[in-house]
Homo-oligomer: A and B are copies of this chain.
Amino acid sequence: MADKKLKVVLAYSGGLDTSIILKWLQTEYDAEVVTFTADLGQGEEVEPARRKAELLGVKPENIFIDDLREEFVRDFVFPMFRANTVYEGQYLLGTSIARPLIAKRQIEIARQVGADAVCHGATGKGNDQVRFELGYYALEPDIRVIAPWREWQFASREQLIDFAEKNQIPISKDKRGESPFSIDANLLHSSSEGKVLEDPAQEAPEYVHQRTISPEEAPDQPTIVTIGFEKGDPVSIDGEALSPAALLTKLNQLGHDNGIGRLDLVENRFVGMKSRGVYETPGGSILLPAHRGIESITLDGGAMHLKDELMPRYAKLIYNGFWFSPEREMLQALIDKSQEHVTGTVTMKLYKGNATVIGRESAHSLYDEDLVTFEEGSGSYDQRDAAGFIKLNALRLRIAAQREKKLAR
């Protein structure tokens, strides 16, 4: 039918760039645009996006605004933290972990409204385009994907602004020029990239930070906080039970106030180049050592070592956008299996950038004072056993050394 329009679900923030995309979809594709705006804890109101979408001609029934904060923390952030996940030794994956949820919700909406395509505003050089699109395809294999930044002909910021002006898209003053850096944010973290950060030899300026005060500005007195865990997930702070999003919000505040969670990193993108980012993960940077702390007394050593060896691979899958892949799910099954007894409380000291475990307690503890004491006495351990243990562990080394001697003769 001639009048059948292409229907596209756009991940819409309400900001300038995705508003341009919205209009571009309408003009270039003559598309019926469905906007999806998620509250993932980015710290901005989402309701204004509704008005902007309406202004740009989106039908009310085509505007979707969801508060996904609890789902985000419960089903994405916490499962990831069960593995003590860091990418390239340091990055807490705050951007990466939000993408699959957005993709999942976009596909759900596409099914609901009978859309033909989905669209995102990620650029063609980054990881996010991969994360969005792998998510789309894994959930809806025949969906059409529109990636404006890879498709359109705009070659500069000026051309984009021109297009916006011609199409009556409101432009706030600070958006007219080139932004000195770009930001992504959600309840787990904020990231800053680009322009002023492009020389990795130069210290990141203080003003790029969004979520934390600097350690220097933080109070001179430490804050002590106790985090309760059940089966690997945090469930309470200082004895107060909190929902996942509420808990992370509170940890964020604590981290913010104590200058915790800044990371200045040059990382390897999936698409092949190195980039430099400044990440702030205040709550996550408390949660990571706290989780390790509760694991340290409740998790078996063999289990821990297996997890630790697989973590970099799990982190890479998330970073590269393979959340909805069989191998990520297999690793998750392995990780989740390990967390059955990771229950108890950890006391943390927060002080000027440091988040330090100072105590851990659990009814599930595997730590046994009797075993480690210098005095003999525990029935479970006979020091003489160590002789045999060492002898058999040494056996193959001795045989190899005997070979060396024999061959040297």
Residues of A within 8 A of B (CB): 84, 88-90, 123-125, 129-130, 133-134, 137-142, 147, 149-150, 155-156, 182, 194-195, 198-204, 215-216, 220, 222, 262, 264-268, 271-276, 292-293, 296-297, 300-309, 312-313, 316, 321-322, 324-327, 329-331, 333-338, 341, 347, 349, 351-354, 356-361, 363-369, 371-376, 379-403, 405, 407
Contacts and interface: CB of A to CB of B under 8 A. Distances in A.
Contacts of A363: 407
A406 B297 CA distance: 16
Given A215-B351, A265-B296, A266-B293, 16 more contacts: A88-B292, A124-B383, A202-B359, A215-B352, A272-B393, A301-B396, A306-B331, A309-B309, A309-B313, A324-B397, A331-B334, A353-B353, A364-B403, A380-B395, A381-B395, A385-B391
A386 B402 CA distance: 21
A221 B325 CA distance: 44
B137 A397 contact: yes
Given A359-B203, A386-B150, A394-B133, A301 B330 contact: no
A388 B395 CA distance: 14
A375 B268 CA distance: 19
A368 B304 contact: no
B123 A397 contact: no
A325 B397 contact: yes
22 contacts: A123-B374, A125-B371, A129-B390, A130-B389, A133-B390, A134-B390, A141-B405, A142-B402, A203-B347, A215-B351, A264-B356, A267-B296, A272-B396, A273-B372, A274-B297, A305-B316, A308-B312, A309-B309, A324-B397, A333-B333, A351-B353, A380-B398
Nearest to A296: B266
Contact of A292 (B89, B129, B349): B89
A361 B199 CA distance: 9
Contact of A333 (B275, B321, B334): B334
Contacts of A354: 215, 352-354
Contact of A124 (B304, B357, B358, B386): B386
Contacts of A327: 300, 302-303, 305-306
A399 B380 contact: yes
A401 B140 contact: yes
B329 A386 contact: no
Contacts of A333: 333-334, 336-337
Contacts of A306: 313, 327, 330-331
Contacts of A341: 403
Contacts of A360: 200-201, 266
Contacts of A273: 368, 371-372, 381, 395-396, 399
Contact of A375 (B156, B222, B369, B380): B156
A141 B302 contact: no
Given A266-B297, A354-B215, A394 B125 contact: no
A182 B372 CA distance: 13
Contact of A297 (B200, B297, B384, B400): B200
A324 B312 CA distance: 23
B326 A338 contact: yes
